[in-house]
Amino acid sequence: MTRSKMLLSAVLAAACGTAVAAPDSYTIDSSHTYPSFKAAHIGGISFWRGKINQSSGAVTLDRAAKTGTIDILMDMTSIDFGFEKMNEHARKDDIFDVAKYPTATYKSTKLVFTGDAITAVEGNLTLHGVTKPVTLTVNQFKCIPHPFFKREVCGADATAVIDRTDFGVSYGVGKAIPDGKVTLDIQVEALKDEAAGPT
């Protein structure tokens, strides 16, 4: 074999090896994932706190390339303030109108890494039928072997501040409530998918 053919073979082998490598995929553990929020109550004298009880989604991570995706679906019918009358009102058409908009989604456009850890996520939040860019600050990101499932599990704690009026959720703002600012606090865990067996 000539030197040029050997070089070409080496390049092709390297390219094939690169092509075979794929990002790791994870499925959101809905029993340990709770998007929660804090918003001002009457006159800002206190704050409502609540969470979304049902969410699902998927994550991919390519640590070598420092890329990945996050795709989350939140069931807005499961909104929970810890006060049933408020839950019922929040679901009505003058607030979240869950009959028309039963879900909210967050889809990443970019994962920001510092070393091997995700420190921010840029993406789009769709809420109440409106899509706006929202950047999450990731305060903690950690992956460990799951003690029960014997697979990798990753967890993160993320925060962001949004204005709900940007999404058409304006109930009470400018009247009993000073502004539409809502602080999001999101805890998420995702379990690595099992590798497919031989076909």
For residues 73 and 195, give the distance between their C-alpha atoms in angstroms, rounded to a whole number: 24
- Selection from 52, 51, 59 nearest residue 103 by Cα: 52
Helix, strand, or coil here: 145?
strand
* Contact of 47 with 41, CB cutoff 8 Å: yes
- Selection from 81, 64, 71, 78 nearest residue 26 by Cα: 71
| Burial profile 87-108: b = 16 or more Cβ within 10 angstroms, e = fewer | eeebbeeebbbbeebebbbbeb
Name the β-bridge partners of 124: 107, 133
Percentage of residues in the chain having pLDDT higher than 70: 87
75-92 per-position pLDDT tens digit: 999 999 999 999 999 999
**Per-residue pLDDT band at 154 (split at 50, 70, 90):** very high
What count of other Cβ atoms lies within 10 Å of the Cβ of residue 143?
A: 18
1-15 per-position pLDDT tens digit: 555 544 445 444 455
pTM of the predicted model, to two decimals? 0.85
Helix, strand, or coil here: 169?
coil
Match domain 23-192 to its CATH number in 2.40.50.100, 2.40.128.110, 2.30.30.90, 3.20.20.140.
2.40.128.110
* Contact of 92 with 100, CB cutoff 8 Å: no
What pLDDT does 53 receive? 96
